[in-house]
Amino acid sequence: EPAAWSRRPSGEAPRKRSRAFYIQAKDTADNLLKSNQEVFQVTFNGPVTFTVVSAPVNPDAMDGLYKVEYLVNRAGNYRLSVALNGMPIKDSPFEFVARPGRVASEWSTVQGLGSIEFTAGTESEFVVQAKDAYGNALDEEVGEVTASIEWENYDSPTTMTVLDDTPLNNAEFGRYFYGRASYIGFGQYDIKYTALREGTHKLFVKINGGNVYLSPFTLRGSPAAAPYGPKSLAESGQPPASGVAGDEIVFHVQLRDAYGNLLASSPAGAIIVVRVSSAPPVSQVDEGVCSPSTGGSTGLYECRITPTVSGESVQVDGVEISKLEMVQPLQLTVTQGPFALFVEPAAVSPANTAVYNVQSSYLAGATVDALVQLRDRFGNNRTSSSATLLFQGRFGPSILAFTDNNDGTVTVKVGTHLAGEHPLQITLAGVQISNTPTPEIPVLSSIARFDGTDCAIPAEIIAGIQHPFQCVPRDTFGNKVVDNNLFIQAEFVNMDDSSAPVITVDGTYSLVDDNYDFPLEIDKVGAYSVVTQLWARGGLIGRYYRTPGFQSLVSLLTDRPHQGLALFEYTRVRDSSRPRAPSLLLRASKKANSNFGDFHVRAFCRSIASLGQLFWSAQSCSLKLLLR
């Protein structure tokens, strides 16, 4: 029978079942001895040594038959010696083998580090030794051997403020884990298992449904060595959903392994990367620093970053971390980064503010909208205006009108009335923005207009002598217009003699000064009303009137184009032999309807004041034309 092992449950002992063999006493002639007084000594020498003595089988029979009862509780090979009065009997000593008894799970044992501790996610193992009731190791298979592990609790909770995701981890990774048993001989079973949770566990090892000695065991689980981003957590409420550019953000990150277990240590080195980046194509990146937190739980890091752009990423070994959120009562969710971080721009910075849609040239008197994008010192577009914006735009001599859109942009109406080349200047609180002042931008003249064009129509000429004069095409703002496709014709009608021929003079484009020259020559003396007409390619674009001083002097029959006009002065032609008459002021005439806009001609007249004349005198006169 199996022998008792040294360790037993307190207060229990194996049930003793002795065995026996018989000795027949004989004399030297091999006759059965007629006695029952002999005492044989039987000594067992093996794993243990002990001696027992014989007893008569039947004390009354006197047949020399003796019984030897023994109990061997340690399995193994023995040498059995039988002696009578110190002399060995025939064939003594004998070879004796004690085999283990039936398996007793409560006396079977486990050995190996895997029965004490394990690392999450890593296969561990231990060995089960099947034994009998006396602790003898069996040397054969014994039936079903099982191992099961039950997780109880974490040993290392985080000190960081964070929601408890234990129920989520229970659902994902489980609380129960099971081993796989394989027989390796000599009554031993190799148990392999992979458990995933850090903390305290119960390990149940059973043989044929019964717990082995000391089962269930206390089993300690350690976290995996490597941190895992998706299971690492940010502090509750962190990272924030918004911040101000240039303001530091500080938050904690708890490193955990792939199974949600806190790391056993806070490894040094660039494990956590905090990065805030803008979307392509800008791809600006701000990087922060994370360092192990002192005085807190293992694997706890403090992260600091000063964002200047939107969109936050917190990575552990290149993988985004997560954060826990309670979206509804009793409903916990895990959100993996990158996290949305709206960075409110800092104060407006002229050095980063820029104007867009600036034209390569402008037309005098016309404005084109340009857009100024306000930015902070980090280059972020402002999303609102500023109470201290102090915006001003200037283009040449013109102060520009603008509209603050209160969305971080300002619409500026860029343009000026003065032709030439001018820089565009935009200032914020007196400081130029990033791309102003611009290089000088050409401002081109507009089309010739009635309220800008000058014609130096003389107030007085001498009959029979050519008297050239010029018309200078200008736009509304007085900018000279260079256009060689204009046709300008002056018509002079004698107001004193209706039978006198009408004199017409065509203007010729001058390549020298881009003006139009008129070779005026009139033979007949008198006062003349003048109509100057401007034509461009496509037809008449304007007609200028020079009317007589008195309405009654205008002939309704011979001077129909000049009728119905207000009182204006007119040009006088005198004989070269007569004394020179004073020059008279020519005023702008009546305008007619036109589809092209208005043109303006100023006639600069020399004035000679003379008493006793019925004509008004002045320094200049102007003529108006009307586009058709």
Q: Are 306 and 248 in contact (CB under 8 A)?
A: yes
Q: How far apart are CA 415 and CA 435, in angstroms?
A: 17
Q: How far apart are CA 511 and CA 505, in angstroms?
A: 19
Q: Residue 442 has which token pair?
A: 């050409």
> Tokens 């044929």 correspond to what residue?
208
Q: Which residues pair with 207 in a beta bridge?
A: 145, 210
Percent of the chain with pLDDT strictly greater than 70:
80
- Side chain identity at 59, as an amino acid letter? P
Q: Has residue 543 got a pLDDT over 90?
A: no
**Model-level pTM?**
0.57
CA proximity to 484, closest of 494, 473, 498 = 473
Q: Which range (115-129, 142-156, 302-316, 434-448) has the least confidence? A: 302-316
Which residues lie closer than 8 Å to 125 by C-beta, 6 or more apart?
A: 112, 114, 190, 191, 192, 193
Q: Has residue 405 got a pLDDT over 90?
A: yes
Q: What pLDDT is attached to residue 6? A: 29
Q: Helix, strand, or coil here: 10?
A: coil
Q: Exposed, middle or buried, 466 (CB in 10 Å: 0-12/13-18/19+)?
A: exposed
Residue bearing the bigger pLDDT, 118 or 535: 118
Q: Which range (39-43, 234-238, 293-297, 424-428) has the least confidence? A: 293-297
Q: What pLDDT is attached to residue 215? A: 95
Q: What pLDDT is attached to residue 411? A: 96
Residue bearing the bigger pLDDT, 366 or 563: 366
Query: Average pLDDT in the 593-601 region?
Result: 33
Q: Has residue 619 got a pLDDT over 50?
A: no
Q: Has residue 601 got a pLDDT over 80?
A: no
Q: Which range (69-83, 94-108, 233-247, 343-357) has the least confidence? A: 233-247
Which residues lie closer than 8 Å to 462 by C-beta, 6 or more apart?
A: 573, 574, 575, 576
Q: What pLDDT is attached to residue 450? A: 67
Per-residue pLDDT tens for 207-224? Answer: 999 999 999 999 999 999
The top-scoring range by mean pLDDT among 126-130, 579-583, 600-604 is 126-130
Q: How far apart are CA 548 and CA 616, in angstroms?
A: 12
Q: Which range (59-63, 126-130, 592-596) has the least confidence? A: 592-596
Which residues lie closer than 8 Å to 182 by C-beta, 6 or more apart?
A: 189, 190, 192
Query: Average pLDDT in the 229-243 region?
Result: 87
Q: What is the 3-state secondary structure (H, E, C) of 264-284?
A: CCCCCCCCEEEEEECCCCCCC
Q: Residue 457 has which token pair?
A: 């129509």
Q: What pLDDT is attached to residue 566? A: 39
Q: Is the dihedral of CA 503, 508, 512, 515 positive or negative?
A: positive
Percent of the chain with pLDDT strictly greater than 90:
49
CA 420 to chain CA centroid, Å, is 47
Delineate the domains of the chain, giving CATH numbers in brackets.
Answer: 19-98 (2.60.40.10), 105-222 (2.60.40.10), 229-344 (2.60.40.10), 354-444 (2.60.40.10), 453-626 (2.60.40.10)
Query: Average pLDDT in the 192-209 region?
Result: 97
Which residues lie closer than 8 Å to 527 by C-beta, 6 or more apart?
A: 494, 495, 496, 548, 549, 553, 570, 571, 572, 573
- C-alpha distances (whole Å) from 407 to each of 79, 368, 382, 411 are 104, 20, 7, 11
Averaged confidence pLDDT in the chain: 80
Q: Helix, strand, or coil here: 22?
A: strand
Per-residue pLDDT tens for 140-173? Answer: 999 999 999 999 999 988 999 998 999 999 999 9
Using CA atoms of 456, 459, 461, 467 in order, give the dihedral in degrees to the nearest 10. Answer: 0
Q: Which range (333-342, 422-431, 611-620) has the least confidence? A: 611-620
Q: Has residue 29 got a pLDDT over 70?
A: yes
Q: How far apart are CA 133 and CA 74, in angstroms?
A: 10
Q: What pLDDT is attached to residue 575? A: 55
